[in-house]
Structure 1
Amino acid sequence: METCHLVSLLGLILSAHYLTASNTTENYNSLLPDDITFGITECWSLFWKWPPSSANCSSTELKYSVTMDVLSDGEPLAEEGKNANLTVALIPPHYYDLNHGLNFSVQVVCNDTEIDSAFKTVQVAPGDEGTAVRNFRCIWQYNEYVNCTWQHGTKTPLNVKYKLHYWEKENEEKKCSTLPEFWDILDTGKTCEKYFNDGKYIGCQFPLQKHIDPLPTLVTVVTDESKRIKPHISYTMTNNIAQFRPPTITETKRTPNNSIYVSWNVSEGNKNIITSQITSRSSSDDEWTNPFEIANALHKEIPNVLPDVTYMVKVRVRLSNHQTSNGDQCLWSPWSEEFTVSGQDNGRSVSILLLLLIPLSVIMLTILLLFHLKRLKGTLFPQIPDPAKIFPKDLQQWKKSELQNVYSKPEQEEVCLVYLIENLSATKNS
Structure 2
Amino acid sequence: MDLYRCRLLSLLCLCAHWTRGTADTGPGQLYPPSNITFEMKDMFCLYWTWTAIQSNENCTLWYKTEISSIGHKGPAGKTTYLHYAKSLDNRVNLNENITLKMNTLCDNRTSDVKTFTSSLTSGNPRTMVRNMTCIWDYKEYVNCTWRPGEDTPPNVNYILRYWIADGDSCPPRVNKQSTLFRDLLDGGELCQNYTSYSGNTFGCLFRVDPRMEFKKFLAVVMDRSQNIRPYIYFIPCINSIAKLKAPVIHLKRTPNNTVLVQWNVSDTSEYDLEYNILSNTDKQTEKVAASNKEFFNILPDVQFAIKVRVALAQRRICSASPDDPVKKFLWSEWSEIKTLPAVTGGRITLIVILLLVSLVIIVATILLLINMRRLLILICPRIPDPGKVISRDFPVISYGWAESVAAVWKTRLQRAQERGSQSGVVTRHSTIVFSSGTGPQVETVNKFYSRTFVYTL
User: Would the alpha carbon gap of residues 111 and 267 (structure 1) be closer, same or farther in structure 2, given more than 3 Å must change?
Assistant: closer
User: Would the alpha carbon gap of residues 56 and 327 (structure 1) be closer, same or farther in structure 2, given more than 3 Å must change?
Assistant: closer
Q: 1:119 aligns with which of 101, 110, 115?
A: 115
Counterpart of 2:247 in structure 1 is 247
Checking the alignment, whether the CA contact within 8 Å between 1:71 and 1:95 is kept in structure 2 is no
- How many angstroms does 1:117 deviate by? 2.2
SS at match of 2:186: helix
Q: 1:276 aligns with which of 268, 273, 276?
A: 273
Counterpart of 2:78 in structure 1 is 80
Cα distance in 1, alignment partners of residues 97 and 25 from structure 2 = 37
Indicate yes or no: 2:103 matched with 1:107: yes
Checking the alignment, whether the CA contact within 8 Å between 1:144 and 1:209 is kept in structure 2 is yes
SS at match of 2:227: coil
Q: State which structure, 1 or 2, has the greater radius of gyration over its C-alpha atoms.
A: 2
What do residues 226-269 of structure 1 show as CA deviations (whole Å, max 9, x unaligned)?
Answer: 222111112112222111011122x4321112222111111301
Checking the alignment, whether the CA contact within 8 Å between 1:258 and 1:303 is kept in structure 2 is yes
Checking the alignment, whether the CA contact within 8 Å between 1:70 and 1:77 is kept in structure 2 is no
Counterpart of 1:290 in structure 2 is 282
Cα distance in 1, alignment partners of residues 59 and 194 from structure 2 = 59
| TM-score, length-scaled by structure 2 | 0.63
Indicate yes or no: 2:205 matched with 1:205: yes
User: Would the alpha carbon gap of residues 77 and 291 (structure 1) be closer, same or farther in structure 2, given more than 3 Å must change?
Assistant: closer
Which structure dedicates a bigger proportion of its chain to strand?
Answer: 2
Cα distance in 2, alignment partners of residues 290 and 347 from structure 1 = 24
SS at match of 2:56: coil
User: Would the alpha carbon gap of residues 171 and 180 (structure 1) be closer, same or farther in structure 2, given more than 3 Å must change?
Assistant: closer
**Given residue 80 of structure 2, which amino acid in structure 1 is its aligned partner?**
K
Counterpart of 2:37 in structure 1 is 37
- How many angstroms does 1:142 deviate by? 0.8
| TM-score, length-scaled by structure 1 | 0.67
Indicate yes or no: 2:219 matched with 1:217: no
Q: 2:159 aligns with which of 139, 156, 163?
A: 163
What do residues 97-133 of structure 1 show as CA deviations (whole Å, max 9, x unaligned)?
Answer: 1111122222123464322222122212222211111
- How many angstroms does 1:71 deviate by? 7.2
Counterpart of 1:59 in structure 2 is 58
Correspondence list, 1:156-195, <5 A: 156-171=152-167, 173=169, 174-175=171-172, 177-195=176-194
User: Would the alpha carbon gap of residues 230 and 12 (structure 1) be closer, same or farther in structure 2, given more than 3 Å must change?
Assistant: farther
Counterpart of 2:354 in structure 1 is none
- How many angstroms does 1:11 deviate by? 3.7
Indicate yes or no: 2:135 matched with 1:146: no
User: Would the alpha carbon gap of residues 347 and 235 (structure 1) be closer, same or farther in structure 2, given more than 3 Å must change?
Assistant: closer
**Given residue 210 of structure 1, which amino acid in structure 2 is its aligned partner?**
P
SS at match of 1:94: coil
Checking the alignment, whether the CA contact within 8 Å between 1:275 and 1:320 is kept in structure 2 is yes
- How many angstroms does 1:72 deviate by? 7.9
User: Would the alpha carbon gap of residues 166 and 309 (structure 1) be closer, same or farther in structure 2, given more than 3 Å must change?
Assistant: same
Q: 1:300 aligns with which of 286, 293, 304?
A: 293
SS at match of 1:196: strand
**Given residue 202 of structure 1, which amino acid in structure 2 is its aligned partner?**
F
Cα distance in 2, alignment partners of residues 36 and 328 from structure 1 = 35
**Given residue 160 of structure 1, which amino acid in structure 2 is its aligned partner?**
V
Counterpart of 1:47 in structure 2 is 47
- How many angstroms does 1:312 deviate by? 4.5
Checking the alignment, whether the CA contact within 8 Å between 2:158 and 2:201 is kept in structure 1 is no
SS at match of 1:116: coil
User: Would the alpha carbon gap of residues 111 and 309 (structure 1) be closer, same or farther in structure 2, given more than 3 Å must change?
Assistant: closer
Counterpart of 1:416 in structure 2 is none
**Given residue 84 of structure 1, which amino acid in structure 2 is its aligned partner?**
L
> Any stretches of 5+ residues in structure 1 without a counterpart?
282-286, 350-430
SS at match of 1:335: coil
Counterpart of 2:331 in structure 1 is 332
- How many angstroms does 1:134 deviate by? 0.5
Cα distance in 2, alignment partners of residues 193 and 23 from structure 1 = 69
SS at match of 1:188: coil
Checking the alignment, whether the CA contact within 8 Å between 2:72 and 2:93 is kept in structure 1 is no
What do residues 310-336 of structure 1 show as CA deviations (whole Å, max 9, x unaligned)?
Answer: 654432211234465576743221122
Counterpart of 1:233 in structure 2 is 232
- How many angstroms does 1:94 deviate by? 2.9
What do residues 56-91 of structure 1 show as CA deviations (whole Å, max 9, x unaligned)?
Answer: 3252322222222367888x632222222222222x
Cα distance in 1, alignment partners of residues 258 and 280 from structure 2 = 17
- How many angstroms does 1:306 deviate by? 3.8
Tell me which moved more, 189-198 or 166-175.
Answer: 166-175
Number of equivalences: 335
Checking the alignment, whether the CA contact within 8 Å between 1:276 and 1:298 is kept in structure 2 is no
Counterpart of 1:265 in structure 2 is 264
User: Would the alpha carbon gap of residues 19 and 299 (structure 1) be closer, same or farther in structure 2, given more than 3 Å must change?
Assistant: same
Cα distance in 1, alignment partners of residues 97 and 161 from structure 2 = 21
Cα distance in 1, alignment partners of residues 262 and 184 from structure 2 = 48
What do residues 331-389 of structure 1 show as CA deviations (whole Å, max 9, x unaligned)?
Answer: 2211223445455578999xxxxxxxxxxxxxxxxxxxxxxxxxxxxxxxxxxxxxxxx
SS at match of 1:291: strand
Checking the alignment, whether the CA contact within 8 Å between 2:218 and 2:233 is kept in structure 1 is yes
Checking the alignment, whether the CA contact within 8 Å between 1:99 and 1:232 is kept in structure 2 is yes
Instruction: Note the aligned Cα RMSD (angstroms).
Output: 3.7
Tell me which moved more, 324-333 or 289-298.
Answer: 324-333
Cα distance in 1, alignment partners of residues 346 and 10 from structure 2 = 125
Cα distance in 2, alignment partners of residues 20 and 32 from structure 1 = 24
Counterpart of 2:16 in structure 1 is 14
User: Would the alpha carbon gap of residues 278 and 87 (structure 1) be closer, same or farther in structure 2, given more than 3 Å must change?
Assistant: closer
Tell me which moved more, 43-52 or 188-197.
Answer: 43-52
User: Would the alpha carbon gap of residues 4 and 225 (structure 1) be closer, same or farther in structure 2, given more than 3 Å must change?
Assistant: same
**Given residue 274 of structure 2, which amino acid in structure 1 is its aligned partner?**
Q
- How many angstroms does 1:225 deviate by? 1.2
